[in-house]
Amino acid sequence: MYMHQTANHSYLPAVLRTFAISLGIAFIGTMAGVFVPPAMFLPLIILEIGMLLFAFIIRRRKAMSYSFLFAFTFISGMTTYPIISHYLATIGPNPVLLALATTTTVFTGLAIYASTTKRDLTFLGGMLMAALFALIAISIFNIFWPLSSTGMLAFSFIGVLVFSGYVLFDFNRMKKYGVSAEEVPLMALNLYLDFINLFINILRIFGILGSRD
């Protein structure tokens, strides 16, 4: 009944290793995005959303294959290409690289804090889920009624806070409750989604501020 009473930390390195591989595969996907015809990006985004929903459904069983994870991160990399390409064209490569460096620094700092603090941060789960649904709703609203640059800036700052919260939550949960061998791909997916969404929101902030100069 209390299977998580003794936290198993022996698989934490495997989670971090799988997360790093996922980022590498996403980078390859982004490079491959150069060769994807523009008409294909919408079907790829729909496929990515479908895979995310599937992952959300199966997460209760904690059984996700490595092949599913790596296929998802490759597709995610491809769908990220138009975003990165847009900012490379509008603000140049330096702010994009700075956004990536900022994301890596923030992610690492939060991960270290969440893994070393004695505080239990798992109470954040419910609030973060509600905030995430609010962000999704605003994103859908934005498709039909685009936000102003100030509105998008505020939206992006909230996004940074929410996904920073998820970094704290996910690392703290792994520290408190441990990770089983079956959970490794799922936990790596959580960290990948935290990182990539944090990066996109930080990049958007840099893009909005850069275009105002």
Phi, psi of 192 (to 5 degrees): -60, -45
Dump pLDDT digits (tens) for 101-132.
999 999 999 999 999 999 999 899 899 999 99
Q: Angle of helix 149-177 relative to helix 184-212, nearest 10 degrees?
A: 160
Confidence of residue 2 (pLDDT cuts 50, 70, 90): very low
Confidence of residue 188 (pLDDT cuts 50, 70, 90): very high
Nearest of 202, 133, 192 to residue 167 by alpha carbon: 192
**What ranges do the domains of the chain cover?**
12-212
CB contact at 8 A, 163 and 200: no
Nearest of 104, 118, 115 to residue 13 by alpha carbon: 115
Dump pLDDT digits (tens) for 15-33.
999 999 999 999 999 999 9
Q: What is the pTM of this model?
A: 0.90
Query: Which structure tokens are listed for 66?
Result: 């490595």
d(CA 167, CA 125): 11
Residue at 115: amino acid letter: S
Dump pLDDT digits (tens) for 145-184.
988 999 999 999 999 999 999 999 999 999 988 888 889 9
